[in-house]
Amino acid sequence: AQSVSQHNHHVILSEAASLELGCNYSYGGTVNLFWYVQYPGQHLQLLLKYFSGDPLVKGIKGFEAEFIKSKFSFNLRKPSVQWSDTAEYFCAVNARNDYKLSFGAGTTVTVRA
């Protein structure tokens, strides 16, 4: 079974700072990788996804993530955060041909105005 670890539990930033959230997974086979976001009081929603091809994927709201296969990592980045990026971010992994997603523990990001 696959597992996902997120490096940071809580990150506090000022507006315009750069953000990078780490995500590592353990699984020997082919995987699909995702970042989900949960804004305060809202549902989880898909931020971006990686299946194959270009390892640098772009998502909504200026977020991007890079898949480094040799490091089993899928880190999320944003060059300049806004107060509205305050949310909880979850990395998730899906083994190909599996019905399930495995989520990391989540990282709470607080952006101070």
Helix (H, G, I), strand (E, B) or coil at 37: strand
Distance CA(65)–CA(87), nearest Å, equals 17
Q: Which stretch binds other proteins (CB under 8 A): 3-11, 18-26, 60-68, 69-77?
A: 3-11
Distance in angstroms (rounded) separating the CA atoms of residues 93 and 32: 6
Nearer to other proteins, 33 or 81 (CB): 33
Stretch binding other proteins (CB under 8 A), from 54-62, 65-73, 75-83, 99-107: 99-107
Q: Which residue has the tokens 């949960």?
A: 38
Report the alpha-carbon distance of residue 24 to residue 68 in Å, rounded. 10
Cβ distance to other proteins smaller for residue 30 or 80: 30
Q: Is 92 in the site for other proteins (CB under 8 A)?
A: yes
Complex with other proteins: residue 11 or 44, whichever CB lies closer? 44
**Tokens 């509205």, residue?**
84
List contacts with other proteins (CB under 8 A): 4, 6, 9, 32, 34, 43-46, 49, 90, 92, 94, 98-106
